[in-house]
Amino acid sequence: MHKLFPMLCMLVLVTLIFLAAVRVVVNFPEAVVGSSPRSLGSKLKPDVREERRRDPSLKPGLGQERPGDFLKSDSSLESPDAFLKSDLNQGSRDLVLKPEISRESQSLDPPLEPGDPESQVSSPKPETSRENEDLLTSPPTNRESPTQDPLLKPNLSHESQDLLRKPDQAPDSPNPLSSPKTTALPPCPEMPLVPGRRRTINSVITVEEAQRAIKGVRAGGSWWPPLCAPRQRLAVIVAFRDRAAMLGPFLYRMHPFLQQQSMNYSIYLVEQTPEGGFNQAKMYNVGFVRARAEGPWDCFVFHDVDCLPENDNNLYFCADQPRHLGVARHNNKYMGCANALTGWQVDRVNGWSNRYFGWGGEDNDMSRRIRASGMGVVRMDPAVATYMMLKHPPARRNPDRREILREAVRTYKEDGLNTLNYTLVQMERRPLYTWLFVRP
């Protein structure tokens, strides 16, 4: 009997140890769950919990940002990436920093209806006339970007061929276009609906004849596709004087050309008063300032009135670098005929120079500004970017253009948008364009 007692004690001890080990294993998941972020939230300071209860939008989860937050921007930012440092919430920053997130995660919030109280708070209705409201109202832009333009030169860097990577984010504006409304329309196609080369251009048509031929354009020269969401909003700015005969061919060609590309666009014709020499670059600055004040345009195309695109595949849009569209007409040292820049890019180069009165120099000056500001120029294939030049009498040259051009790199920060002075004599919403009559 005395030999069995130690063995019995040993068996009881082993049993107790086994039961204790089993209890530890069973309770281990509870210990892990008890240390989860949700349980840790109960250990936060009371003031933190209270602040989160008062403001449910504080640090929301991915895709739970409030409607309209993603559309906020600041025109004073120095770079397209700097808007991440603004008052966007963390959810919106994650959407920008992580483009690989599925589209479903970016659209968790239901669409805002026009009568939604939250949409009215985030974007107050401007006090504008009914006429201006009709001119400026258009469906929102689908900012989904295509991956690559097959028409760009193959030797361009991948960075230059990333189309629409950084569309210009316009500042909050009293324009109805800035309302954070959503749409169920599909994105517009990347290529024109009727691609192909068009060599025959009517160069003798009048503005009245063009007006009778072109339908569906709102007063002021605005149009947007009715069946799809445009990828960018385009403001076409034209500076001219003593070129009234060219307005008809230009409008007759440009409206169908841009409509085939399914662009939301508007055409601004800036006409300089007769006195003094013609300053095309300064008129470009005026058109840019006036157009940006009217709507959140993603892209600004500065266009010569005597330069008409022949090929429907010559796509008009803005990319992460300034784009020279009129390649087949000018060589690589110039930025003439037609150029596409975002608002941020125009601000970075301080716009165009205001010093070139008379013909010549302003295109070279813009090219030097772009390179001096650390950017490059993206050019299309000359086989695609072909233009027809309308004939006109030669303009008076600027005798000081070479001297001004030599100082372009040194003085571009003190000569441009920040030194722009002008007088707007008259402004009209005409059937096919917005007319600005300007005294420099």
Q: What does pLDDT average to over the chain?
A: 71
| 200 pLDDT tier (thresholds 50, 70, 90) | low
Q: Is 105 part of a structural domain of the chain? A: yes
Q: Is 22 part of a structural domain of the chain? A: no
Domain end point (choices 110, 144, 174)? 110
| Degrees, nearest 5: CA angle 343-246-336 | 40
121 vs 31, which has greater pLDDT? 31
Q: Is 5 part of a structural domain of the chain? A: no
What's the confidence (pLDDT) of residue 141?
Answer: 44
Q: Residues 82, 218: one domain?
A: no
**CATH number of the domain within which 313 lies:** 3.90.550.10
| Degrees, nearest 5: CA angle 416-417-421 | 95
Q: Is 25 part of a structural domain of the chain? A: no
What's the confidence (pLDDT) of residue 174?
Answer: 40
- The Cα–Cα gap between 338 and 343 comes to 16
Q: Residues 154, 88: one domain?
A: no
Summarize the confidence of residues 397-418 as an average pLDDT.
87
Contacts of 76 (CB under 8 A, 6+ apart): none
With beta carbons less than 8 A apart as the criterion, state whether 231 and 190 touch: yes
- The Cα–Cα gap between 294 and 136 comes to 8
How far is the first Cα of the chain from the last one, in angstroms, to the nearest whole number? 121
Domain end point (choices 76, 110, 144)? 110
Domain end point (choices 77, 110, 143)? 110
- Tell me the two tokens of residue 1: 């009997």
What's the confidence (pLDDT) of residue 285?
Answer: 98
Summarize the confidence of residues 228-247 as an average pLDDT.
94
Q: Residues 106, 152: one domain?
A: no
Q: Residues 152, 103: one domain?
A: no
Q: Residues 69, 160: one domain?
A: no
Summarize the confidence of residues 180-197 as an average pLDDT.
71
- The Cα–Cα gap between 398 and 44 comes to 71
- Tell me the two tokens of residue 403: 């001297």
- The Cα–Cα gap between 89 and 96 comes to 11
Q: Residues 259, 291: one domain?
A: yes
Give the 3-state DSSP-derived string for 119-132, with helices as H, strands as E and coil as C: HHHHCCCCCCCHHH
With beta carbons less than 8 A apart as the criterion, state whether 399 and 411 touch: no
Total number of domains constituting the chain:
2
- The Cα–Cα gap between 50 and 401 comes to 66
With beta carbons less than 8 A apart as the criterion, state whether 148 and 162 touch: yes
Q: Is 123 part of a structural domain of the chain? A: no
What's the confidence (pLDDT) of residue 126?
Answer: 40
pLDDT tens-place string over residues 100-153: 433 333 433 434 444 443 433 333 444 444 444 443 344 444 444 333 333 333
Q: Is 13 part of a structural domain of the chain? A: no
- Tell me the two tokens of residue 3: 């030999």
What's the confidence (pLDDT) of residue 113?
Answer: 41
- Across 58-62, 191-195, 203-207, 267-271, least confident range: 58-62
pLDDT at 261 over 60: yes
- Tell me the two tokens of residue 93: 């920053």
What's the confidence (pLDDT) of residue 154?
Answer: 35
Rounded to 10 degrees, the C-alpha dihedral 164/82/419/239 comes to: 10
The residue segments making up the domain with residue 197 are 130-439
336 vs 362, which has greater pLDDT? 362
Q: Is 121 part of a structural domain of the chain? A: no
| 194 pLDDT tier (thresholds 50, 70, 90) | low
- The Cα–Cα gap between 89 and 58 comes to 8
Question: Whose CA is closest to 424, among 411, 438, 435?
Answer: 438
Summarize the confidence of residues 211-219 as an average pLDDT.
94
Residue 359 per-residue DSSP state? B
Q: What are phi and psi of 229, to 5 degrees?
A: -90, 120
With beta carbons less than 8 A apart as the criterion, state whether 354 and 344 touch: no
pLDDT tens-place string over residues 34-90: 444 444 344 444 444 444 455 544 444 433 434 333 333 333 334 434 433 334 344
- The Cα–Cα gap between 266 and 277 comes to 27
Q: Residues 183, 312: one domain?
A: yes
Q: Is 10 part of a structural domain of the chain? A: no
Q: Residues 77, 186: one domain?
A: no
Q: Residues 294, 250: one domain?
A: yes
Q: Can you list the positions of beta strands (E) in 290-422? A: 299-303, 307-309, 323-324, 338-341, 378-379, 387-389
- The Cα–Cα gap between 243 and 283 comes to 14
pLDDT tens-place string over residues 324-351: 998 765 434 456 789 999 999 999 999 9
Q: What are phi and psi of 10, to 5 degrees?
A: -60, -40
- Tell me the two tokens of residue 118: 């939250």
111 vs 435, which has greater pLDDT? 435
With beta carbons less than 8 A apart as the criterion, state whether 76 and 147 touch: no
Q: Residues 212, 140: one domain?
A: yes
Q: Residues 245, 390: one domain?
A: yes
With beta carbons less than 8 A apart as the criterion, state whether 302 and 363 touch: no
Summarize the confidence of residues 241-263 as an average pLDDT.
93
- The Cα–Cα gap between 113 and 136 comes to 19
Q: Residues 142, 106: one domain?
A: no
